[in-house]
Structure 1
Amino acid sequence: MARKQFIKQRSQRGVATLRTILLILTGALLITLLAAVFVTSYGYFRDYVSDQLAGHARDGATAIGLSLSNAIDGRDPVAAASLIDSVFDSGRYLSISYRNHQDEQIAGRAMTLQNIAVPSWFRSLADLPLPVAEAEVVRGWSRLGTVQVISHPGRAYQDLWRITVGLTTSTAIIGGLGLFAVFLLLRRTLQPLLALEDQARALGQRDFRKRVSVTSTREINQVTEAMNRMADDLGQLFEGQAKLIQHLRRVNNEDAVTGLASRSAFDQRLKVEVESEEKAAPGMLILIQLADFAGYNQAYGRNDADRLLLRVASVVSDFVNQHAGAFAGRRTGAEFAIFLPGVMAADAGVWCRQLVADLDGVYADLASPIDTAVHAGLAKTLEGRGARELMAAADEALRTAQNRNGSGCHLADPERDGHHNLETWRVIISQAIRQRTLALWLQPMVNEGRLMPVYHQVFSRIDSAEGSLKAGTFVPLAERFGLIADLDRLLIERVLERLRTFPDQPLAITLGNASVASESFRSDMLAQLDQAGQLAGNLWIGISEQAIHHHRTAAGLLVRALGRRGVPVLVDRFGVGGVPFSYLRNLRFQGLRIDNSFIHDIDTHEDNRFYVESVLAIAHSRGVKVFATGVETAAEYSVLCQLGIDGAMGYHLGRPFAADNQQTGD
């Protein structure tokens, strides 16, 4: 399909533009008119000099004939020759001949056509006639002979040459000025058409921001006005669709009072974060509850209770924004949940105590003189502990904290430690970067109508003494240590090396949030892609929706730079965090990858199904592909295929495999 569009664009570039056609037509008419004027003028002047040449010959013959008849005795050959010589020496005659009745020459002079100051080709082209003028020589009643005169055409050729040069010069000047004036007029008149062409191309790429402000003729102005109106209508339609989908997502996935994730949305995302085999990340779950919220609600009323929850949600949101990858939701009543990826228990305990103190201050100020308390329970992810077990552990820790006097936190299973400490993790990640022990694992993005995958998603793993560590384990910690940019540099280098080996196997990677925000990383990555040349077009660059939201300027610069290099860009983890859709209008993406939390149980979850269907409609209307991740069952994949998904990935469709396996080229 892309090849057909490329061929079509090339064939369209070969077609002459309207301005060219009008310029050629108008120029041809102007040149034809000037040529006709030139030919007519040239013919007139040629006839004129020919008549002058013939008249001069007649006058010369008459003068010589009269002189031989009256002033000089025409019977005297010597006198006749002297007269002819004196006349001929003027240089204005080609030949003069005085003949008797027996056609015998009595006297005469002649010369050849030489040394005429005009080009020989012009003389051949003009080919002026040489008429012979005759006059009778008489004495009394006797006829002595005939004088024959041919004028020299040299001066006639020179006059005709000067006239021709003048005509050619004036015609060229007038024609050139005329063509230039026509060119300027056509360019000014048709200038809106170029802007309309750009606008039409932008509309074809689903960019509704371009407007045409150039004015021209009444008809063209009407067309530009109609195009601008259509672009405005399409832009408003897109905005309306985006706002509708955003509203539906907010209704289905956000708590109506606090704006945090709803209980079902939080549980779905937690399940993906904790139980996904490839992306499962170490982290901490915190459950927070305001003590005796029911009493506060009864004492102050529902409106004040909602205002309290909103204040608490604001503090929780500020806390989440300070930790990359964290997310929060409201469970029931005054109970809130927070998940912190890549966090150690000691750090989480310190942060939780500070958060509880802040919340206790808010609660105490609004509930005075009622006694207040805020309790929190913490549980860490462990090997084999699913989302349900993690939630149960955190809930048990919350109950333990509630049994103590006053506000406080409690950590479940403090003696169990399933992961290294922070310093050990820093050494492991730094050593992997330094020794380049980053392994690539691939998972296919499958399209039902294609034999080959759309691309393979790349997951990085670190080879350590304890085995292969998955990206979900060390990437959040690398973000925290400020090492993610170095990891991504190494990842891109390894991926480009693989593309050189398998150029027909497109790959996709996802950049860390800090990498997107780093100007030095962006410069290094673009230099790597420039060095890779055409291979870079087979690499999909993923940018998380949160990175686009928090680093809008940096992400915009990166997306535009990648677009100029022909590198496809997709939005990763689309739908997470309630980010507005406005960036889809301002930035040109080639794909969206919907987060796992919207795909899980989509065959039974009508709200998520409607959301994905709406995203597909608006994305396809802008020429953007939509991919799904986390497809674990045949039922989920069947629903996605019915909705028209452009690609899907998950354990049901293909498990990750080591890129070093040579069968990856199959």
Structure 2
Amino acid sequence: MQQERPEQHRSSAITLRTLLMLFTGGLVLLLITISMAVSFDRFRSYMAEELEGRTRDAATAIGLSVSNAIDASDVVAVGRLIDSVFDSGDYLSVAFVDHENRQIVGRSRSLDDLGVPGWFMELADLPRPVGTADVLQGWRWLGQIRVRGHPGNAYRDLWRVSLSLALAAVVVGSLALVLLYVLLGRLLLPLRTLERQAKAIGRRDFRLRTKVRSTRELNHVTQAMNQMTEDLEQLFAGQAALISHLRRINNEDSLTGLASRNAFEQRLAVETVSEEERKPGALVLVQITGFADFNKRLGRPEADQLLIRAATEIREFLHEHAGSFAGRRAGAEFAVFIPGGAPADALLWARDLVEKLQTVCIEFIGEADPDGLALTVHAGVAGTSERVSVKSLFESADVALRRAQTSGISGCELADTDLEVHHGAEQWRVLLERALEREQLWLWQQPLVAASDELPVFQQVFSRVLVDGEWIRGNVFVPIAERYGIMARIDLMVISRVLERLETEPRAVLGLSLGASSVADAEFSATLVEKLEAAGPLVERLWVGVPEQVVHYRRRNAQVFIRRLRRCGAMVMVDRFGVGGVPFSYMKNLPIQALRIDSSFVHGIDRHDENRFYLESMITIARGRGVRVFASGVETEAEWRTLKAAGVDGAIGYHLGRPAPPGAG
């Protein structure tokens, strides 16, 4: 709560624009009021003088008429004259009085029904002037004419003028305030942009620049702010490059570019031991026998070239087997994990790899042509199971490797195992094809929760297929589906059912992850976009995950694909981030909304300082791009606490919620 108070205080503070509007508007109002008061006073004085002049002239005219043209003793004639004057002018009274101040003849009226508000009459308070004229006959004084002016017309004229002045003041004042508002808005526009830019910098977002021109002083401020933003962006870009470099040093073999020994074993633990990510597969240990002698006799540069060529062949092998990964253990020993299929299938694939590596070795021996020098490639294969630890898996594969080496020729051996293998790779393909033809696909979901309040951000959708009466999870069949090109059909079926759920559940927000082979398929991409465009606004509640490895190896296709998803309205995240090797600098070219950290970085993160440092740095850089960061594979409370302390926006994992059918629980 204490952190919210400064923000609340800032939001309740008066703005500079409002302050200037109040001050300038008050000044304009004061000037208009003074101007109206002066104009009113001058017009009132003018009306009072006019009324007094008319009253005096009327009295003089009547007095002269009675003295010269009419016999003053003729009361009837004098009365007619007074009636005519009274009826034709605005007078309160017209009277002819004698020397004893007695009215001989006269007329009068009251001051009523002027059509002017009483408060205005009190404010104006016009005088009621009295004009007098003596009536003489020769040298004899006969009496006096007294005329009292009627201010009714003066009040009405003054009221109309006052209304006109008030209306003019309102119009002029309103126009002045509108012009002032627009002018201040134009002058202060750079300040609002600078405020947004400063807040963006606080979020490590350096994309915003202030381009609005204003006064000279504000222009200098905006130039300085833009320069600071560019400097900070370069600083963070350098930091990102440094972090990527440190990541490669820590997780990649500097010579071959394959995973380092520690990185490989950590990911292998997630793939084979982790409760959430565990999948069937096989570990292959490959060793080039005679490499030490080759290095000693031909030198390190030639030996390094051999290892680089071998790593190239291994990477090509990985591209052919979706989900596979490899690492260099030591010297000329490599480790490869192949998910999916039975150990017997892995043995066939490993023999193919051994043959390709042996061909590379023969090429190098042929070029060098040394006497008595031999390079022989051997491999050992061991299958995974729920009962086998990472250490036991390596021991089994190593025993098989040693057995292959005893033969004296290039070859590959399978470790002795008591695993019950129900289906080989080809059998899996047939079973998957049959399940798809019968649409035996079941969608499960798992919540991805926010780190702030642990409420679901969206429900991640997983597919399960029916095989031999048992619903098989994706970790088991996805590698086979990727290998045999079935993944696109599965993804399209999943997307169709997800869109149906979005239509029937107006408040649902769902997420799904696409297969690597699906994203690379042009026909799949076109069909997917067609479905999303037909769905309309529903897509705004859909998160689509794109594997990082696709972004890395098929950058152009991935960029086009992601942009098409965004045009449809879907939210896009890069899935399994951290294992594909995509540099941070490339991410700024993608219109993505989130990254989801691969579970290999999350597994045991509370005990791995290097992974925690990498994650914290990645979060800082992602926030600078306006991208959210999610994590996957959270299985313990310690991992969840570490992730929240690092600043992730959300996470998914067995600790936060297990997969279940929609509506379960």
Are 1:310 and 2:308 an aligned pair? yes
Separation in structure 2 between the aligned mates of residue 529 and residue 281 of structure 1, nearest angstrom: 36
Structure 2 counterpart SS, 1:144: strand
Report the Cα offset of residue 528 of structure 1: 8.5
Separation in structure 2 between the aligned mates of residue 456 and residue 466 of structure 1, nearest angstrom: 26
Structure 1 residue aligned with 2:193, among 183, 195, 214?
195
Corresponding residue number in structure 2 for 1:467? 470
Deviations 1:14-40 (A, max 9, x none): 665321232133112211221121122
Structure 1 counterpart SS, 2:133: strand
Structure 1 counterpart SS, 2:401: helix
Corresponding residue number in structure 2 for 1:211? 209
Q: Is the 8 A contact 1:510 1:542 kept in 2?
A: yes
Separation in structure 2 between the aligned mates of residue 352 and residue 214 of structure 1, nearest angstrom: 66
Structure-2 change in CA distance of 1:322 and 1:532 (3 Å): closer
Which residue identity does 1:395 align to in structure 2?
Answer: L
Q: TM-score with structure 1 length normalisation?
A: 0.74
Structure 1 counterpart SS, 2:580: coil
Q: Is the 8 A contact 2:284 2:350 kept in 1?
A: no
Report the Cα offset of residue 462 of structure 1: 3.8
Corresponding residue number in structure 2 for 1:75? 73
Separation in structure 2 between the aligned mates of residue 527 and residue 4 of structure 1, nearest angstrom: 45
Structure-2 change in CA distance of 1:547 and 1:446 (3 Å): same
Structure 2 residue aligned with 1:575, among 568, 574, 578?
578
Q: Is the 8 A contact 1:441 1:458 kept in 2?
A: yes
Are 1:261 and 2:259 an aligned pair? yes
Q: Is the 8 A contact 1:293 1:334 kept in 2?
A: yes
Separation in structure 2 between the aligned mates of residue 210 and residue 560 of structure 1, nearest angstrom: 22
Which residue identity does 1:306 align to in structure 2?
Answer: D
Deviations 1:505-534 (A, max 9, x none): x9986554467784765786899896699x
Which residue identity does 2:476 align to in structure 1?
Answer: T
Which residue identity does 1:596 align to in structure 2?
Answer: S
Structure-2 change in CA distance of 1:24 and 1:451 (3 Å): closer
Report the Cα offset of residue 52 of structure 1: 0.9
Task: Give RMSD over aligned pairs.
Answer: 5.4
Separation in structure 2 between the aligned mates of residue 491 and residue 584 of structure 1, nearest angstrom: 30
Which residue identity does 2:71 align to in structure 1?
Answer: D
Structure-2 change in CA distance of 1:353 and 1:600 (3 Å): same
Could you tell which deviates more after superposition, 259-268 or 279-288?
Answer: 279-288
Corresponding residue number in structure 1 for 2:27? 29
Q: Is the 8 A contact 1:285 1:394 kept in 2?
A: no
* Structure 2: stretches of 5+ with no match in the other structure: none
Corresponding residue number in structure 2 for 1:181? 179
Separation in structure 2 between the aligned mates of residue 11 and residue 548 of structure 1, nearest angstrom: 45
Structure-2 change in CA distance of 1:110 and 1:9 (3 Å): same
Corresponding residue number in structure 1 for 2:45? 47
Deviations 1:524-575 (A, max 9, x none): 6899896699xx6xx99766543554535545776899898xxxx8765443
Could you tell which deviates more after superposition, 510-519 or 60-69?
Answer: 510-519
Structure-2 change in CA distance of 1:454 and 1:177 (3 Å): closer
Deviations 1:166-191 (A, max 9, x none): 42344234323322332232112211
Corresponding residue number in structure 2 for 1:596? 600
Could you tell which deviates more after superposition, 109-118 or 84-93?
Answer: 109-118
Structure-2 change in CA distance of 1:560 and 1:196 (3 Å): farther
Separation in structure 1 between the aligned mates of residue 171 and residue 449 of structure 2, nearest angstrom: 66
Separation in structure 1 between the aligned mates of residue 101 and residue 354 of structure 2, nearest angstrom: 137
Could you tell which deviates more after superposition, 153-162 or 520-529?
Answer: 520-529
Structure 2 residue aligned with 1:431, among 435, 443, 464?
435
Report the Cα offset of residue 469 of structure 1: 1.9
Corresponding residue number in structure 1 for 2:325? 327
Are 1:611 and 2:615 an aligned pair? no
Corresponding residue number in structure 2 for 1:546? 549
Structure-2 change in CA distance of 1:311 and 1:127 (3 Å): farther
Q: Is the 8 A contact 2:358 2:377 kept in 1?
A: no
Deviations 1:430-468 (A, max 9, x none): 636965652647699899x99999999876544543534
Which residue identity does 1:609 align to in structure 2?
Answer: D
Are 1:167 and 2:165 an aligned pair? yes
Which residue identity does 2:582 align to in structure 1?
Answer: V
Deviations 1:310-356 (A, max 9, x none): 34534543553465423233344445444443468779958975995
Corresponding residue number in structure 1 for 2:491? 485
Separation in structure 2 between the aligned mates of residue 95 and residue 450 of structure 1, nearest angstrom: 88
Q: TM-score with structure 2 length normalisation?
A: 0.74
Identity %: 37
Equivalent positions of 1:309-458 (< 5 A) are 309-321=307-319, 323-342=321-340, 353=352, 360=359, 364=363, 368=367, 370=369, 375=377, 377=379, 379=381, 381=383, 383=385, 387-388=393-394, 391-392=397-398, 395=401, 399=405, 403=409, 412=414, 418-422=422-426, 424-425=428-429, 427-428=431-432, 431=435, 435=439, 437-438=441-442, 440=444
Deviations 1:609-634 (A, max 9, x none): 223234235526877667574768x9
Structure 2 counterpart SS, 1:148: strand
Structure-2 change in CA distance of 1:396 and 1:166 (3 Å): same
